[in-house]
């Protein structure tokens, strides 16, 4: 008898603690970065992401009652030579939260007068997601 009651109580508690979460898109931050002389696409991408992130102070997560470390950030970079971007270096820019970096063909390369070098422009978007608790 007591065994059955214990089991019932445990199951009830489990149901109470069972929370479902939904991944929600909270904000998007935009930036632009360059590498003027070095034709370094990673450097331009890093600067673009820093421009995006440090134009804003995002306090959405703590305001909603979630730790800022719970944020998931999708970083999208656009440059003219996507294969030359070191994604790990770009991801390391984020001070907290989980980063997912994707690089696509975009940005802008501007050649110099004699066509020997290019100035690199990178575009960056950081899209911030958070798992939000759903009402039962």
Partner 1 sequence: MPLKRIILEMGTGNDLYGEDYTKACKRAVQDALHHSSLTLFRSLGLERDAMVVDVTVAVQQPDQVDIEEIAAQIPFGTVNVKAVFGGLNVVDDEAGTVSVIASAGVAAKLDLPDGPFVLPKTL
Which residues contact partner 1 by CB under 8 A? 22, 24-31, 51-52, 55-60, 63-66, 132-135
The dihedral over CA atoms of 79, 91, 86, 75, expressed in degrees to the nearest 10, equals -20
- 1 vs 63 by CB, closer to partner 1: 63
Residue with smaller CB distance to partner 1, 35 or 51: 51
Closer to partner 1 by CB, 37 or 133: give it. 133
User: Structure tokens of 45?
Assistant: 């991408």
Q: How many CB atoms lie within 10 A of CB 61?
A: 19
Cβ-contact 117, 103 below 8 angstroms: no
Min CB(22)–partner 1 separation in Å: 6
């Amino acid at each position: 008898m007591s065994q059955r009651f214990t089991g019932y109580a445990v199951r009830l508690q489990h149901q109470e603690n069972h929370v479902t979460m939904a991944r929600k898109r909270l904000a998007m931050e935009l930036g632009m970065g360059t590498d003027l002389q070095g034709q370094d696409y990673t450097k331009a991408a890093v600067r673009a992401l820093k421009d995006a992130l440090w134009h804003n102070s995002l306090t959405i997560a703590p305001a909603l009652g979630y730790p800022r470390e719970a944020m998931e950030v999708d970083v999208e970079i656009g440059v003219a030579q996507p294969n030359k971007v070191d994604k790990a270096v770009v991801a390391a820019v984020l001070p907290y939260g989980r980063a997912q970096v994707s690089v696509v063909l975009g940005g802008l390369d501007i050649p110099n007068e004699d066509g020997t070098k290019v100035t690199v422009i990178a575009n960056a978007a950081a899209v911030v997601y958070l798992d939000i608790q759903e009402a039962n």
